[in-house]
Each structure stands twice: as structure tokens, then as C-alpha cells.
Structure 1
Amino acid sequence: MRRLRNTDSRTEQESAILKAAAEEVALVGIGRLSMDVVARQAGVSRSTLYRRFPSRDALITELGRQTFEFAMARLQTVAIDSGPQAASVAAFREGVRLLTGEPVMRRFLQLDGEFTATTEMVAEARLFLVSAATAMAKALRAAGATMSDHELMAVAEVHIRLAASLVQVNTDVLDVTDDDAVARYAKTYLAPLVH
């Protein structure tokens, strides 16, 4: 069934396009994202789609930027009033929740086994890692961490990289879908790294 043409404002059209792109990426992955399907699902013509996003890479890059901004906002909600070790557990648990529960995030970070990436996507993934580690380091500092900035960034990056790895490759060591198990794991193995 074909949707009616989207005659909304430019901002509303861009929002509809990005929503349709997110749904398509979650369904088929980035490598198989179809501009025709996105246009149809957003209710816009191909020419409107290309006026809003001049290339497929431009659309993917914007979708990645928005996805990572959403993730950063979620990571910054970590409770910091219970001390740095408890904050590290909360941040790790939230990171695992994001990586297991957000299909677009999984696709962008190539956690679903899809290894076709644009140069912009690789740059966005690298930016996500740095941004996530920076956000976590700030939360840990605000929670009372006293280690040097360099050590704090290194520990935060270990948390982020480990969360991504555990989500990507199933292991008997940790069931990433069990929130309590994730918290126990972080408390046992990761919290002691923070002081």
C-alpha cells in the first residue's frame, strides 16, 4: 500500500525520512538500505529525499549522528550520587541496555555481523566510542572518582569496548539480557577499576 505524499514542512519531511531510514536499517541493515524504500515509507518522492539528503551516505551519516546523540543522552542519565564504583556499574548496565535494545545502534556499531560500512560510518563509530567514553568519564568524575583524567578515560573506554564485545559475541560468562547479571558482572570486574 502506497502512502500519501508527505507535504509537510522541510523539518517534518526530514524527520519522516530519518524515521523511515531507522526502520529500514533496523530491518535490513545499513548495507542494504534502499533509498526507494525509505522515500516510499516516508511518503516523499525520490527527488524530495535527495533534496533533503543529497546522497545515501549523507542520510546514513545523519541517522548515525542522531542515533549516537540519543545514546549519549542515555549514558548521561547514570546516577552519580552513590559514588564512582556504583556509577560505573550503572553506566555499564545502561551501555549494555543500549547495545542490546537499540537495533539501529547495533547496526551502526556492526554488532549484527554486517561489515559493509561507509567511511562516514566508521568515523561515526569512532566518534561514538570517544564520546561515550568521555560521557562516562565525566559521570564517574562527578560521582567522585579521584584517578587521573588519563586513567579515567582509559577505564571508561574499557567499559564501552567490553560492553560492545559482550553484546556482539555470546558467552557463557554473562547473559547480557539479564540486567541483574550485568550489574553483578560490572560490580565484580569493572567497578574495582574505578577509584
Structure 2
Amino acid sequence: MRRTRTRNTPTEQESAILKAAAEEVALVGVGRLSMDVVARQAGVSRSTLYRRFPTRDALITELGRQTFDFAMARLQTVAIDSGPQQAAVAAFTEGVRLLTGEPVMRRFLQLDREFTATTEMVEEARLFLVSAATAMAKALRAAGAGMPDDELLAVAEIHIRLAASLVQVSSDVLDVGDDEAVARYARTYLAPLVH
């Protein structure tokens, strides 16, 4: 379906381009993202697209940044008023929800594929891991965790790595689509790591 071209402001055009890029990435993945399809779906000309995002990599980088910023904001809003262990359960549960329910995030982190990734995707995943662990550690600290910073960051990283692994490779131990089961798992095995 071809959308009609509009004379929107540059900000509106950029927003439409990023929305179209997110839809395309969710559908075909990062590696197959087509600038022509994005321009057509956003209702902008190729020249407008390239004015806003000079390269395909620039568009992918901005889409990744927005996707990860959204995820970090959600991880930082966990229930910090109920103590550090309950915050750990809430953060792990929210992390699993993000990794199972956000198609662009899944594509960026290669969660829908075999264990193959380009160098750029490995770097994006590493940056996400660092950002997510840092965001979770901040939320746990705000919830009252008193452990040293390096230990708290290590525990947060364990949570994030485990969530990604459980989402990518199914397990008979945990149904990642069941929020209650995920919370029970986190309460039993992960919350005791936080103090």
C-alpha cells in the first residue's frame, strides 16, 4: 500500500520514517531493511529520507537507540517502593516482557534467529546489555539494595543475560509467556541475589 506524500515538518517526517523502519524491521529484520520500502511506507521521497538519515546505518542506529531508550525507561520504572528483592522480581519480569513482546527489540538482539550475528549486531547487543544492567542496577539501588556497586551491577547483568537466554532458547523449566511463572522464577532464584 502506498501512502500519500505529505508536506509534514522535518520532525514529523523523521517520526514517520522511524515508525516505518520499525515496522519493516519487525517484519523482515535489520539485515533486510530496505530504504525504498521505508520511504514508501513513511510517505516521503527517497531524497527526504536520505536528508533525514544520510545512510541506512544512520537510520538503523537511530531506530536502535530509540528502541533501547524505550526499554531502559521501562526497566527503570519497576516497583522500587517494595524493596530491592521485589524490585528485582519486577525488573526481571518486565525484562522478559520486553524481550518477548517487542518485535523490533527481538530483531535487534537477534532473538528470532540462530546464534549468528554480524559484528554490528553483536556490538548493539553488548551496548544493550550494558545499558539494561546499568538501568536495572539503578532501579535496585533506588529500591534499597545496599550491596556494593560492582556486585549490584554483576547481579543486574546476570538477570539481563538470563532473561535474554530464556527468551531465545525455550526451556521446560520456565514458560516465558506466563508472567506469573516468570515472577515466581525470579522470586525463587534471582531475588535472593539482591541484598
Question: Shorter-chain TM-score: what band?
Answer: over 0.9
Rounded Cα–Cα distance in structure 2 between residues aligned with 1:57 and 1:82: 42
Rounded Cα–Cα distance in structure 2 between residues aligned with 1:116 and 1:55: 21
Match of 1:51 in 2: 51
Residue 84 of structure 2 corresponds to residue 84 of structure 1: yes
Task: Decide whether the 8 Å contact of 1:31 with 1:117 is kept in 2.
Answer: no
Relative to structure 1, is the Cα distance of residues 118 and 7 closer, same or farther in structure 2, using a 3 angstrom cutoff? Answer: farther
Rounded Cα–Cα distance in structure 2 between residues aligned with 1:75 and 1:110: 20
Relative to structure 1, is the Cα distance of residues 25 and 118 closer, same or farther in structure 2, using a 3 angstrom cutoff? Answer: farther
Q: Unaligned stretches of 5+ in structure 2? A: none
TM-score (norm 2): 0.96
1:19-168 matches, cutoff 5 A: 19-113=19-113, 115-117=116-118, 119=120, 121-168=121-168
Q: Unaligned stretches of 5+ in structure 1? A: none
Rounded Cα–Cα distance in structure 2 between residues aligned with 1:163 and 1:152: 17
Rounded Cα–Cα distance in structure 1 between residues aligned with 2:154 and 2:22: 31
Relative to structure 1, is the Cα distance of residues 138 and 65 closer, same or farther in structure 2, using a 3 angstrom cutoff? Answer: same
Relative to structure 1, is the Cα distance of residues 62 and 142 closer, same or farther in structure 2, using a 3 angstrom cutoff? Answer: same
Rounded Cα–Cα distance in structure 1 between residues aligned with 2:38 and 2:2: 12
Q: CA offset at residue 118 of structure 1?
A: 5.8
TM-score (norm 1): 0.96
Q: CA offset at residue 116 of structure 1?
A: 4.6
Rounded Cα–Cα distance in structure 2 between residues aligned with 1:117 and 1:30: 10
| Aligned residues between the structures | 194
Relative to structure 1, is the Cα distance of residues 106 and 174 closer, same or farther in structure 2, using a 3 angstrom cutoff? Answer: same
- Deviation above 2 Å: which 4+ runs of structure 1? 114-119, 121-125
Rounded Cα–Cα distance in structure 1 between residues aligned with 2:190 and 2:165: 14
Amino acid at match of 1:60: I
Rounded Cα–Cα distance in structure 2 between residues aligned with 1:116 and 1:31: 10
CA distances 1:50-103 after superposition (whole Å, capped 9, x unpaired):
111111111000000000000011001100111111110000000000000000
RMSD in angstroms over aligned alpha carbons? 1.2
